[in-house]
Amino acid sequence: MGIWTRVGPRVATLVWRPTYLSRTVTTLAFPLQEHLARARRGAGGGRRARRPPVLRARGVTGGRGRGAAAREGRVPGSGLRASSFFVFPSGLDSGLRFHYVATGERGKPLMLLLHGFPEFWYSWRHQLREFKSDYRVVALDLRGYGETDAPVQRENYKLDCLITDIKDILDSLGYSKCVLIGHDWGGMIAWLIAICYPEMVMKLIVLNFPHPNVFTEYILRHPAQLFKSSYYYFFQIPRFPEFMFSINDFKALKHLFTSHSTGIGRKGCRLTTEDLEAYIYVFSQPGALSGPINHYRNIFSCLPLKHHMVTTPTLLLWGEKDAFMEVEMAEVTKIYVKNYFRLTILSEASHWLQQDQPDIVNTLIWTFLKEETRKKD
C-alpha cells in the first residue's frame, strides 16, 4: 500500500495500492585550535580570514568499540548539545577519516543522516535535537565534505565508493541496521544503500530526491528538468566550478541559500547570520569545494542502475517549491518501491526541506517511524 499526501494551505490525500573507527583524535565538530590557526593565517588563499564557528567544550566522553573520544559542545544559535567524532572504518582500504556529530544515548536504535550539496552535518541540526530522545542520531560529513577527509582524485568519488563508505561506517559504529535519512545528494546515496543493502535499512526516509532511475529517465524526456539540472554538466569542467563558487566572497554560495528563487525560508525558517557563516567558513577552506563537486563528476558513469527495486518501508518528503527538482518525479517514484510507500508534498517548502520546515518535517518523520508497516504481498 502507499499513501500520497499534500501538506499546505489545502490538504489533499490520495491512497494507492500498487500491484506490486581505529582510534581517533579528540576534537570539536570544528577543531578549534586548528581553525583558529587557519584563521590567523588567512585561510582560503589570500581571502580575508574568517572567524571559525565555535563549539564550547562541555567535557569529554569516551567512544564505544571502534568509536572515538569526543568533546561535547553547544552549536551557536541552535541550542544544540552534540558530540563530535572521527571514525576510521575498518573495512575501507582508503584509510579515510570520517567526521560525524551525534546526539542521543549509545545503545538506542541508530538514525543515520546524510546531507546534500553544498551542505555538511549542520544541515541536520534540527533533527539532531528532535530525535535524540528515541535514537542515537548521527549526522555524517560525507566523503570530501567538512571535516571528513577528501581524496584528490575524482575516481575516488564514484557511487560505489560512497555506498561502501556508509556500509563500513555503520559497522564501525557497532550497528547492523539503521533508520536511514538522506536529503538531495544524500538522498541519492540513501536510495542506493536501500537497493544494495536492504538488510541494513529498517526504514528509509528521503527528502527531495527521487528514485535514481526516475531521475535519469525523467531528465532525458523533460527539457525543463534538464535545464534545472544543468549544474550537473557544469560541474564536469575541471576547477572552474570551484572558482565560480568562491569568487566575490562566495557570493554564489550565499545566493543559493538566501535568494528568493532558490533559498531557505521563503515561507519557513530562515538561515541566521551564524548559520550562513558556518556554511561559508566550511567551504572557504583550501580545497573544500573540490570534494563535493567531485561527487557529481562521476555520476554519468554510474547511472542508470541495473538493480533498482526498493523493498524497505519508505517515506519521501518533497518541497513543492524546489527550484532544482520537478515534483512529478516524486509521484513516479512509487513504482520502484515494493513495500509501504508514503509521499508527502509540502506546498510551501523549498529544496532545503529539513531546514526550511523543520517542525513539519520532524512531525512527518515521527508519524512514519511510529507507523506499523508491513511488506506488500
pLDDT in tens, 204-216: 999 999 999 999 9
Residue 231 has, within 13 A of its CA and on its CB side, a CA count of 17
Question: What mean pLDDT do residues 18-27 have?
Answer: 28
pLDDT at 62 over 50: no
Phi/psi at 42 (5° precision): 85, 65
Question: What mean pLDDT do residues 225-245 have?
Answer: 92
> How far is it, in rounded angstroms, from Cα 75 to Cα 114?
19
Whether residue 295 lies inside any domain: the answer is yes
Exactly one of 99, 211, 295, 351 is catalytic; which is it?
351
CATH of the domain at 213: 3.40.50.1820
DSSP one-letter code for 147: T
Does a cis peptide bond (omega within 30 degrees of 0) precede residue 89? no
Write down the residue that cell numbers 546515496 correspond to.
189
pLDDT at 78 over 60: no
Structural domain count of the chain: 1
Question: What mean pLDDT do residues 117-122 have?
Answer: 97
Whether residue 377 lies inside any domain: the answer is no
Amino acid, res. 348 = E
DSSP one-letter code for 261: T
Whether residue 176 lies inside any domain: the answer is yes
Please list, in sequence order, all residues whose beta carbon lies within 8 angstroms of the beta carbon of residue 17, skipping any fewer than 6 positions away.
1, 2, 376
End-to-end CA distance of the chain: 9
pLDDT at 23 over 50: no
pLDDT value of residue 79: 56
Pairing of strands 110-114, 136-140: parallel
- Beta-bridged to residue 71, according to DSSP, are 60
Whether 184 is catalytic:
yes
Whether residue 375 lies inside any domain: the answer is no
pLDDT at 59 over 70: no
Whether residue 348 lies inside any domain: the answer is yes
pLDDT at 158 over 70: yes
> How far is it, in rounded angstroms, from Cα 149 to Cα 207?
25
Question: What mean pLDDT do residues 38-50 have?
Answer: 38
* b/e sequence 111-131, b meaning 16+ C-beta within 10 Å: bbbbbbbbbbbbbbbbbbbbb
Whether residue 193 lies inside any domain: the answer is yes
> How far is it, in rounded angstroms, from Cα 175 to Cα 170?
6
DSSP one-letter code for 301: G
Exactly one of 141, 165, 168, 184 is catalytic; which is it?
184
CA 190 to chain CA centroid, Å, is 9
Higher-confidence residue of 85 and 252: namely: 252
Where does residue 238 rank: exposed (0-12), middle (13-18), buried (19+ CB within 10 A)? exposed
31-40, 77-86, 135-144, 332-341 — which is least confidently predicted? 31-40
pLDDT class for 303, splitting at 50, 70, 90?
Answer: low
Whether residue 376 lies inside any domain: the answer is no
What range does the domain containing 59 cover?
A: 2-370
Beta strands in 246-358 (DSSP E): 314-319, 341-346
pLDDT at 368 over 80: yes
pLDDT class for 48, splitting at 50, 70, 90?
Answer: very low
pLDDT value of residue 206: 98
Whether 351 is catalytic:
yes
Nearest to 354 by CA among 275, 279, 269: 269
pLDDT at 239 over 70: yes
> How far is it, in rounded angstroms, from Cα 101 to Cα 293?
22
Exactly one of 145, 296, 336, 340 is catalytic; which is it?
296
Question: What mean pLDDT do residues 346-360 have?
Answer: 94
The SS3 of residue 2 is strand
29-33, 171-175, 340-344 — which is least confidently predicted? 29-33
Question: What mean pLDDT do residues 200-227 have?
Answer: 94
Whether residue 347 lies inside any domain: the answer is yes
Question: What mean pLDDT do residues 268-297 have?
Answer: 92
Higher-confidence residue of 21 and 357: namely: 357
pLDDT value of residue 258: 92
44's grid cell? 582560503
Whether 135 is catalytic:
no
Phi/psi at 206 (5° precision): -125, 135
pLDDT value of residue 39: 34
Cα–Cα distances (Å) from 340 to 63, 311, 330, 371, in that order, read 36, 9, 15, 10
